[in-house]
Each structure stands twice: as structure tokens, then as C-alpha cells.
Structure 1
Amino acid sequence: MAAHAGKFTLVTIKNAKCGDKPVRLFGGGGLYLELMSNGSRYWRLKYRINGKEKRLALGCIPRSRWLQPARSGMKSAW
């Protein structure tokens, strides 16, 4: 299941909830937050090379780190 959140804010990240299936909150530029059913949250970057979709894992999101590390990780991946 995918949800479009526009640009991420701390409020949308903190209030995001997941049900039985993983949920993806997209923030633009291929960056999204994947919420797993066990409560974990992962930053991912979706991109394409030669027409094939790829995903880059930018890391897990503990409650102490929120938004800025993921955006900087996205920029350094390019």
C-alpha cells in the first residue's frame, strides 16, 4: 500500500501508522519512508537505471533521528 504525503514533515513522520501490510509514504524525488507491520521504519530511495526499478536502503529510522539524515543520504547517493 502506498500513500502520498508530499514533502515530509516531522508531524507526518511521527503520526504515520501501519496496519497488517507495509505502508510507503512518498516525499518526492524518489525518497520514501517504509513503515513495517512490526513498527520499524526504513528510509528508501526509489530510482531507475536502464528502465529497471531499483531501491536503495538509506537506513533505519530510530526515534532520535527523523528527517534531515534521510534527505542528506538521498543527496549523497546521487
Structure 2
Amino acid sequence: MALTDLKIKKAKVKEKPYKMYNSLGLFVLVNPNGTKLWRQKYQLGGKERTIAHGPYPVVSLRDARQKRDAIRDQLAAGTDPAVQKRLDQIEAETQARTTFLLVAEEYLQIAHDRELADARECPELCVSGPVHAVSDTQASKRSPNIMANWLRAANHSLTFRPSFSKLRMAR
């Protein structure tokens, strides 16, 4: 019998975790602390595995069923859903870390280190001007020519200031 929102909401807490099955491997795991988590069983290569879809109030019954169907499509295509989910997470983290500002600061730091390799104390790098105008832009969404032009402009407007963070004021 398929689950309904009402059945999930009225699920009682017990001493041990228990499962309320929906269909095609989808179930809600009801924990002793009261949390209700969506899980899905699937088989790949003769082994039974489980993948998480999130907590019940956040992930609705409809969303959980859509995720279940997406997982079944991935299995039909021959891909492991858990591995694909992890790859998607890594890609999202990488995209979040490759904003134009971070790429520009790394480039300018390398250029700065190259120019001041012989100096004893290197002043702190301060990026300003055209770089901050596009600082939150994803680097992968910009063409290489546009990025190169911004980097050249930023390199010309590069300012250095001494770092006083290690000095203490005498009282």
C-alpha cells in the first residue's frame, strides 16, 4: 500500500528505527529521535544498496517519488546513482570555488610572487578595480578572451599595501 502524507505525519516514534515502505524501494526511516528520512533501496551488480533523499518535511512525498524515478532511470542506463550523486556534489563544489575573483586572485598572486621573489618581505596583495566588478561570476561562464582582458586590466590596476597584521601597537 502506498504511503500518504497523513500516514507519514502520524508515524509514531518507537524505541528502534523502523521503515514505512512506499513502492519500488522507496521508504521513510522513522528514527527514535523523531526524524523521518527518505531512503531508497536498489540493487546494482547483485548487491543491495541504499541511497538517501533527505528529511521528510524538507523533501515532500512527491519530490521523493520523483527522485526515486530518477534513480530508477539511472539504474536502467547502467550508472550507479550513489556515485553519480557524489560526482554531482563535487562538480557543484568546484563550480562554487571557481568564481572569477578566486581565479584572478590566484593569477595575480602568482604574478606577484614571480616579481618579488628576491624581496625579503612581500606586501599583501590587494585586488581592486575591474576584478571586483565580476567577482562572483562563475569563471566557466566567461569566455577566455574576456577573462584575459579583465586579468590584464586588473594586473595594471594592481595595488600593493604592506601587511601590518603581524605588528602590534606599543601601549
TM (norm. structure 2) is 0.40
Q: 1:41-52 to 2 correspondence within 5 Å?
A: 41-52=36-47
> Percentage identity across aligned positions?
33
The structure with more helix, counted as a fraction of residues: 2
If asked which structure has higher relative contact order (CA below 8 Å, sep 6+), I would say 1
Q: Max radius of gyration: which structure?
A: 2
Displacement of 1:65: 4.8
The structure with more strand, counted as a fraction of residues: 1
Distance in 1 (CA, whole Å) between partners of 2:63 and 2:69 is 10
Q: Partner letter of residue 15 of structure 1?
A: K
Q: Which structure 1 residue ranges, 5 or more long, are not aligned?
A: 1-5
Tell me how many residue pairs correspond in the alignment: 72
Q: Which structure 2 residue ranges, 5 or more long, are not aligned?
A: 73-171
**Please, what is the CA RMSD of the aligned residues?**
1.3
Runs of 4+ deviating beyond 6 Å: none
Residues 48-73 of structure 1, C-alpha deviation per residue, up to 9 Å, x if partnerless? Answer: 112211001011122x6531111111
1:29 aligns with 2:11: no
Distance in 2 (CA, whole Å) between partners of 1:9 and 1:61 is 12
TM (norm. structure 1) is 0.83
2:53–2:67 Cα contact (<8 Å) kept: yes
SS of the equivalent of 1:69 reads helix
Counterpart in the other structure of 1:69: 63
